[in-house]
Amino acid sequence: MPTITPSLWFDNNLSEAAAFYTAIFPNSSIEEFHRFTDAGPGTPGDVAWGTFVLDGQRFIGINGGPQFPFSEAVSFEIRCTDQAEIDYYWERLADGGVESQCGWLKDRFGLSWQVAPARLYELLQDPTSAVAATQAMHSMRRIVIADLEAAVSANSK
């Protein structure tokens, strides 16, 4: 069976990004970096591409330059079990990045992340709580589980 490996195009900061991500996620490591040679196209010795692992998922990174920046059209979701996990990932990934809404943010490299609790999906799948949970989520940047549950509870009265 083939393997699917996300390939990310960085603006000549792959080694910094890989170090940033592997410091955040457990079970992570930088596997290898390959450097440009005299054959080019980059400066000999600079990182051309490499591989790293984030919590068991392998990624390829390319130092391609600014031609193809990241956009929200592609994001990575972190499904969290509790508020402590949400806060942990949000604080680290948002550092130097831009917070959006509904649990979305762009990190300092422009990569989009969704930091979402499993509880949100439970509430969204329940027809009696879906509307209130959706409305509450839309008013938040970082998702706060207690606020979701309070909104659902207030709506059911």
Domain count, the chain: 2
What is the per-residue pLDDT for 40?
Answer: 82
Token pair 């499904």 is found at 79
Higher-pLDDT residue of 157, 40: 40
* CB 41, CB 60: distance < 8 Å: no
Mean pLDDT of the chain: 96
Question: What are the structure tokens assigned to 156, written together?
Answer: 């059911």
Both 139 and 83 in one domain: the answer is yes
Q: Residues 79, 151: one domain?
A: yes
pTM score above 0.85: yes
pLDDT in tens, 92-110: 999 999 999 999 999 999 9
Same domain flag for 44 and 92: no
pLDDT band at 156 (very low <50, low <70, confident <90, very high): confident
Q: pLDDT band at residue 76, thresholds of 50, 70 and 90? A: very high
Whether 150 and 80 map to the same domain: the answer is: yes
DSSP characters over the chain: ------EEEESS-HHHHHHHHHHHSSS-EEEEEEE-BTTBSS-TTSEEEEEEEETTEEEEEEE--TTS---TTSEEEEEESSHHHHHHHHHHHHTTSEE-STTEEE-TTS-EEEEEEHHHHHHHHSTTTHHHHHHHHHT-SS--HHHHHHHHHHHT-
28 in the same domain as 85: no
Residue-wise pLDDT tens digits, 121-141: 999 999 999 999 999 999 999
Q: Which domain holds residue 40?
A: 7-63
Verify that 48 and 79 share a domain, yes or no: no
